[in-house]
Amino acid sequence: MSLALEICRITEEHVGTARLGDVRVVALEVGDDAGVERANLEFCLEALLGSPPFGAARPVIEPAPGDVFRVKYLEVEDDGPDDRRT
């Protein structure tokens, strides 16, 4: 749970408190030798990211070689106009 809480803190640091409800994906790279049980981390993150102040974010945990453990990217909903051209 402490790792999941730290990931939430990092997310808040990068997007700001006001935008936490706009976070949709928190993607991580977790190495086979990182000493982290992916299923337990995913469970804890789902509980934290699915409740306030987040709301609807989901974790994506990607396997990586070695002992890597890092936040890979954050996907945040943008309220701006659609960039696609019709």
Structure tokens at 74: 């954050």
**Mean of all residue pLDDT scores within the chain:** 91
Structural domain count of the chain: 1
CA angle 38, 25, 51 (to 5 degrees): 85
pLDDT at 82 over 70: no
Q: Rounded to two decimals, what is the model's pTM?
A: 0.86
Does residue 61 belong to any structural domain of this protein? yes
Q: Is residue 83 part of a domain?
A: no
| Omega cis (within 30) before 53 | yes
What CATH number does the domain containing 68 carry? 3.30.2320.50
Question: Which domain covers residue 21, as residue numbers?
Answer: 2-76
For 62-73, what is each residue's pLDDT tens digit? 999 999 999 999
Q: Is 84 domain-assigned?
A: no
